[in-house]
Amino acid sequence: MCGRYVVTKAVTDLLPDLLGGLDGLPDDYNVAPTALVPVVRARHGERVLAEVKWGFLPSYAKDEKQRPQPINARLETVATSGMFKRAFARSRCVVPALGYYEWVVTPTGKQPHFIHAPGAGLAMAGVLSAWSDPARDRDDPERWSISMAIITRAAHVAPGEVHDRMPACLSPRAGTGGCRRTRRLPTSWTCSRTSRSRSLGRSSTTRSAGTRTASGTTAPA
């Protein structure tokens, strides 16, 4: 997955089970790494919309400039990776989006593709990290920095035409396809490591020339 995605106010209506009753989303058509982004997380047993930094700073980091600060975590290894396994077990989140961008190299330069699910929003799986600044007092509310990484998986259907990775997108249809309910995510939207999400089964890649659907046909933009 490339490091750009889109979030708009309209996503609230497209993901009512996830975002209903929460504060509205911003309009940002170029969400980039290091930006503060909205995520849905569990806080004191409640589902809340929080603003966190995109770029995972592990809790054991010596300072906030430590690298790497990955924007993605691979689904295949997120539960066993030394950097992510604690967050995957205890601090998951959902990253709402309208779609995301990928670029393909062509003879005339890089061609952007906007990958989305027509008529739907994306509920991208993520992991959170809480880093404590040792230079601040323990009772300083600014002491904590919350960051996240988006979980990615092998691409399929239309997204696979432009990149070999895609976000692991969650579906409210818990109980099928390896998905299960859990209290570790802020809603019933969750999926086991081995499940295959169908959230992007109808995805398309939008280009200036039109829209490429999963079947490969092209319609005017």
As annotated, the active-site residues are: 2, 102
**What number is the average pLDDT over the span 198-210?**
38
Q: What fold characterizes domain 5-104+117-201?
A: hypothetical protein yedk fold (3.90.1680)
Number of residues in the chain? 221
Q: Which residues contact 47 (CB under 8 A, 6 or more apart)?
A: 22, 40, 41, 186, 187
Quick check: 34 and 53 in contact, CB under 8 A? yes
pLDDT surpassing 50 at residue 78:
yes
Cα→Cα distances 182→6, 89, 129, Å: 27, 11, 19
Domain segments of the chain: what residues?
A: 5-104+117-201
Mean pLDDT of the chain: 74
pLDDT of residue 49: 93
pLDDT of residue 118: 83
